[in-house]
Amino acid sequence: MTSSNTYDAIIIGGGHNGLVAAAYLARAGKKVVVLERRPIVGGAAVTEEIFPGYKFTEFSYVVSLLRPEIIRDLELPKHGLKILPLPSTFTPMENGDYLAAWDDHDLTRRELYRHSPKDAEAYDEYARVMARAAKAIKPIINLIPPDPSSMSIRDLMGLLKVGQYAAGLSEKELYAVAKLATQSSADLLEEWFETDALKGTKAASGIIGTFLGPRSPGTAYVLLHHYMGEIDGAFRAWGFAKNGSGGVSGSIFNAAQALGVEIRLNANVKQVKVKGGRAVGVVLENGDEIDSKVVMSAADPKRTFLQFVEQKHLPDDFVTSIQNFRTRGSSGKVNIALSKLPNFTALPYTGNPATGAGRGGANSVLHRGAVSISPSIDYIERAYDDAKYGQISKRPYIDMIFPSMIDPDMAPPGHHVMSCFVQYAPYDVEGGWDDAKRDQLGEAVIATIEEYAPNIRECIVGMQVISPKDIERIAGITGGNIFHGELLLHQIFFLRPAPQWADFRTPLKGYYFGASGAHPGGGVMGAPGMLAAKEILKDGF
Amino acid sequence: MLNLKTTPFHKRTSALCQPQNWRKWAGYFVVGSYEHVLDREYWAIRNSAALIDVTPLIKYVIQGKDAAALLHRVTTRDIHKMKVGQVAYTGWCDEEGKMIDDGTISRLEDLTFRLTAAEPNLRWLTMNAVGMDVSITEVTGDVAALSFQGPNTRKVLNRVAEKQVDELKYFRLMTNKINGVEVTISRTGYTGDLGYEIWMDNKDALKVWDTLMEVGSDYGITPVGILAMDMARVEAGLFMLDVDYTSASHAWIESQKSSPFELGLDWTVALDKKGYFVGRRALEKEKREGSAWRMVGLAVDWVGMEKIFGMVGLPPQIPGSAVRASLPVMVGNVQVGYASTSTWSPLLKTYIALAHLQRPYYEIPAGGEIGTDVRMEITVEHHRQYAPAKVVNLPFYEPEWKKK
């Protein structure tokens, strides 16, 4: 064994969390290697040129929760991170009208007023209540989850902190938080609003990445999770990254490299080496062995604990918890190359270069933001009904963006790319995923969009359909769940990924876990990687 | 009607200006912002192509046998070294070596220069031209100007211009044609990004605008107002007359005046040039003895901001555009200077400021990036607070493609 194959730390997985953890460890002076099984870094946050000239952020597609302290600590803007605004959300309605949320508060209120004066008023108060609730629980994001069953000083102090946050809330806020933690997003939204398209669009963010419908209890929390990104004020990290999610990973990669992190591509980890009850390195699929003082996995919980480690090294109850961890993929992605922009009948564009509405709708207002196919809560619940019984939603919820409208470098001049996040596309689809099923998913998406933008088919020059099975196969996420495990109440905070082991340590000494399946969860957030690195450094090695 | 003037692009800009946000600039109306929120306009500068109407820039054509001699005498640059097709940024001073104004000099032909200025300078130029064979003509109202800024601007110009602009170097200019219209294109700007300024006859203004807008739409062209440009210029470490310094000709008191050294313009003061120029003796003296003040960058610490706002239970509140207010800068409890423009940098995700500090606080260790720890005044819920900040080198942001 040469010393060049010996490190202070091995990070399994070059997704954004793995890279963040590596960068933080290297920043503390450690010799770190990241092992990535694919020929590119980024994991589920990658940008690839699927069709020549058309770049896609294949899986994840927006940045909403990337932690400000990570951007700051790793100086990501210096390493190329640019978060571009995604200024609006446009929801076409079944009656031919639309509902839009613009980036200006007054414009949005005016727009809502058109549909319901009552909702226009309620909207402000709703936003305040949600923001306050998010602010109240935000400190928890950066907290190492205490184990409520433990009597250790650290855990007791942690519990005390959580208690203090709760005590700092007003009665009203406390109720709001308690309700949010248990309600369905439909129940929550119906208390506030009457406009179907508004409720549908809001409810949609409560189901993303879960295998639940808007009427399932617990979905209101996910809604809140998405509000977190909005309370950092000017710092807000919400938008579309230059060059897509690959731009985010790329900047973290550059930062990690500048800090001296070594990155090995096509390095597929077979197993974690264990000696004297401690992780001491890894064995690669090609037989190479790499030694280290600690190993951190940034893969999903199932691969981390059921594949990389022999079960004899882990307690039975822990293994059972991980086996039961819900990682049901429920969403797919349809990436489309366009020769021109589809024209939505609810708000058609008229090209007029003199007034700035450019060719092919290039300055069309709605295409700059998200287009959400979520006309009502019932619509989404019906889409869920299909999925419950193993079917692809006939009329799915679709969250569309046109990355080339925000970053023109994503497509050849005058052409465009379109990213469609689709739910529901169940991992356990009846009959299993194959090309025919993939076509069926693609067709469901196009047929749905066609109802609102009849010219969609003539715009398409290429299309890539990604099922949860593809997410599993390409990005290596078991079950194809975009959060590495659903954000359900029984799978967050001190229960993520398993009771007693939510502090980024694992039952195997020297083996750590810092990915989306750990606290505080998924999204291109980076917090698990950062927090895990800090815990690793605390343990000293 | 007592209306201000409008620029030759007004027909287009007024149709696009959604929030009716107009600003006064040298007697003209120009668009402050085209949209209700500045984000998209700011990011057009940094990520695609921003089209900015800068017609109100005051412009003089200086022509004649002694044109170079006049500019050599009035400004701090060595004009005799300038080649035709070259552009030079410069300040000009009074006898005491204090800045009157700043702008660019373009050598259009051997005996023809264009000088831009923030304020009228005809009287000053004429006074200095006594006995010279030179004509000075203001052409502000005849020459329309567009600033075209952002990393995609070169691609757009290559599509619309008769001659490719790939070879046009930083601070050089060329004559060219856009859709049959004769234009001068200079590789200049006020954003610190890749960018060009396009100079044309008034009557051709709309034709050039329309051509750029149509072809540029493939590259994310966005009409941009001066408020977004104001954020970008702070990131680029570029100051503005009447905001970051006071003209020596308007100052009420001595302490309002600044020398070019104090504004960080050392590189524009050619003390080695031949002959007399206005302010030479004072500038030589200041060079020997050092400057009392210096403009530096301040990077406000976000964690410190969070702490200060957190004391009243708020997340940091930041204005949506650059702030042109003087803010005291402290070391300990002693005021050592002031910030003259501050802005949130959406790209750097840092609150930054152009600040004027007294010696020795402005000093940044040789080769170093970060100097003194200071505190800048901010108002938190009506109360005066001080946010921790670091003295940093300017510019805050300079992409590799700016000069490439």
pLDDT in tens, A86-109: 889 999 999 999 999 998 889 999
Superfamily of domain A3-83+240-326+478-539: FAD/NAD(P)-binding domain (3.50.50.60)
For residue A230, what pLDDT band results from cuts at 50, 70 and 90?
low
pLDDT(A467) > 80: yes
Please name the helix (run of DSSP H) or strand (run of DSSP E) that holds residue B24, with its range, or none: strand B21-25
Q: Which residues in chain A are closer than 8 Å to B155, comparing Cβ atoms?
A: 413
Name the token pair of A33: 């290697």
Name residues 295-354 of chain B within 8 A of A (Cβ): 302-303, 315-318, 320, 344, 346-349, 351
Least confident stretch, A85-99, A216-230, B114-128, B129-143: A216-230
For residue A2, what pLDDT band results from cuts at 50, 70 and 90?
very low
Distance to chain B for A349, nearest Cα, Å: 14
Maximum alpha-carbon separation in chain A: 74
Maximum alpha-carbon separation in chain B: 68
Q: Which residues in chain B are closer than 8 Å to A74, comparing Cβ atoms?
A: none
Q: Which residues in chain A are closer than 8 Å to B35, comparing Cβ atoms?
A: 103-104
Rounded to whole angstroms, how far apart are CA atoms A102 and A111?
A: 9
Interior CA angle at A296 toward A295 and A301, to 5°?
A: 130
The closest of A334, A313, A330 to A322, measured between CA atoms, is A313
pLDDT value of position A229: 63
Torsion sign over Cα B366, B367, B373, B376: positive
Query: Do the chains contact at B347 and A87, CB–CB below 8 Å?
Result: no
Q: Which residues in chain A are closer than 8 Å to B323, comparing Cβ atoms?
A: none
For residue A131, what pLDDT band results from cuts at 50, 70 and 90?
confident
pLDDT value of position A324: 93
pLDDT(B243) > 50: yes
Rounded to whole angstroms, how far apart are CA atoms A112 and B138?
A: 51
Domains in chain B, start-ordered, CATH in brackets?
Answer: 5-57+140-224 (3.30.1360.120), 59-139+259-288 (3.30.70.1400), 292-392 (2.40.30.110)
Rounded to whole angstroms, how far apart are CA atoms A240 and A56?
A: 12
Torsion sign over Cα A503, A509, A513, A517: negative
pLDDT(A1) > 70: no
Report the SS3 class of residue B311: coil
Query: Do the chains contact at A354 and B36, CB–CB below 8 Å?
Result: no
User: Cβ(A65)–Cβ(A43) under 8 Å?
Assistant: no
Phi, psi of A8, deg, nearest 5: -75, -40
Rounded to whole angstroms, how far apart are CA atoms B143 and B149?
A: 19
Q: Rounded mean pLDDT of B382-398? A: 95
Q: Rounded mean pLDDT of A125-149? A: 78
What single-letter amino acid sits at A339?
A: S
Q: Rounded mean pLDDT of A232-249? A: 81
Query: Do the chains contact at A407 and B344, CB–CB below 8 Å?
Result: no
Q: Rounded mean pLDDT of A207-226? A: 86
pLDDT value of position A231: 61
Name residues 17-36 of chain B within 8 A of A (Cβ): 35-36
Rounded to whole angstroms, how far apart are CA atoms B354 and B350?
A: 13
Least confident stretch, A138-152, B198-212, B221-235, B285-299: A138-152
Q: Flag whether residue B111 sits within 8 Å of chain A, measured between CB atoms.
A: no
Rounded to whole angstroms, how far apart are CA atoms B354 and B240?
A: 10
Residues 6+ apart with CB under 8 A from B290: B359
User: Cβ(B191)–Cβ(B229) under 8 Å?
Assistant: yes
Report the SS3 class of residue B10: helix
pLDDT(A514) > 60: yes
pLDDT value of position A352: 59
Spatial strand order in the sheet of A370-373: A98-101, A89-92, A370-373, A397-401, A416-423, A331-338, A460-466
Name the token pair of A397: 């919820």
Token pair 């990690």 is at which residue?
A256
Q: Closest to A233 (Cβ–Cβ): which among B43, B155, B316? A: B316
Report the SS3 class of residue A381: helix
Distance to chain B for A254, nearest Cα, Å: 16
pLDDT(A75) > 50: yes
Q: Flag whether residue B247 sits within 8 Å of chain A, measured between CB atoms.
A: no
Name the token pair of B202: 């008034």
Residue of chain B with shortest Cα separation from A168: B313
Name the token pair of A225: 């999770």
Q: A233 in the Ramachandran plot: left (φ > 0), alpha (ψ -120 to 50) or beta?
A: left
pLDDT(A356) > 60: no
β-pairing, B99-109 vs B143-149, is unpaired
Query: Do the chains contact at B12 and A103, CB–CB below 8 Å?
Result: no
pLDDT value of position A301: 95
Rounded to whole angstroms, how far apart are CA atoms B35 and B41?
A: 8
Q: How many CB atoms lie within 10 A of CB A540?
A: 6
β-pairing, B87-93 vs B49-53, is unpaired
For residue A362, what pLDDT band results from cuts at 50, 70 and 90?
low
Note whether ipTM > 0.95 here.
no
Locate the domains of chain A by residue range: 3-83+240-326+478-539, 125-193+205-232, 331-426+430-466
Who wins on pLDDT, B114 or A172? B114
pLDDT value of position A223: 83
User: Cβ(B227)–Cβ(B21) under 8 Å?
Assistant: yes
Distance to chain B for A186, nearest Cα, Å: 29
Least confident stretch, A221-235, A468-482, B111-125, B227-241: A221-235
Query: Do the chains contact at B344 and A413, CB–CB below 8 Å?
Result: no
Q: Which residues in chain B are closer than 8 Å to A72, comparing Cβ atoms?
A: 302-303, 349
Residue of chain A with shortest Cα separation from B46: A82
Residues 6+ apart with CB under 8 A from A324: none
Q: Own/partner pairs for A46-53, CB < 8 Å, 24+ apart?
A: A46/A245, A46/A246, A46/A249, A46/A475, A47/A243, A47/A244, A47/A245, A47/A246, A47/A247, A47/A250, A48/A246, A50/A335, A50/A337, A50/A462, A50/A464, A51/A337, A51/A461, A51/A462, A53/A411, A53/A412, A53/A415
Q: Which residues in chain B are closer than 8 Å to A79, comparing Cβ atoms?
A: none
Name the token pair of B159: 């599509």
Q: What is the 3-state secondary structure (H, E, C) of A417-475?
A: EEEEEEECCCCCCCCCCCHHHHHHHHHHHHHHHHCCCCCHHHHEEEEEEECHHHHHHHH
For residue B265, what pLDDT band results from cuts at 50, 70 and 90?
very high
pLDDT value of position A357: 46
pLDDT value of position A234: 62
Name the token pair of A469: 């099975």
Q: Which residues in chain A are closer than 8 Å to B349, comparing Cβ atoms?
A: 68, 71-72, 77, 235, 237
For residue A3, what pLDDT band results from cuts at 50, 70 and 90?
low
* Mutate: best of A70, A128, A363, partner B, most B CBs <10 A: A363
Q: Closest to A363 (Cβ–Cβ): which among B152, B217, B320? A: B217
Rounded to whole angstroms, how far apart are CA atoms A252 and A15?
A: 10
Query: Do the chains contact at B39 and A85, CB–CB below 8 Å?
Result: yes
Distance to chain A for B8, nearest Cα, Å: 14
Phi, psi of A520, deg, nearest 5: -90, 10
pTM, entire model: 0.94
User: Cβ(A180)–Cβ(A188) under 8 Å?
Assistant: yes
Residue of chain B with shortest Cα separation from A234: B318
Rounded to whole angstroms, how far apart are CA atoms A308 and A37?
A: 13
Q: Flag whether residue B147 sits within 8 Å of chain A, measured between CB atoms.
A: no
Distance to chain A for B135, nearest Cα, Å: 38
Q: Closest to B43 (Cβ–Cβ): which among A84, A135, A359? A: A84
A17-40 pLDDT, tens digit each: 999 999 999 999 999 999 999 999
Rounded to whole angstroms, how far apart are CA atoms A505 and A511?
A: 7
pLDDT(A310) > 50: yes
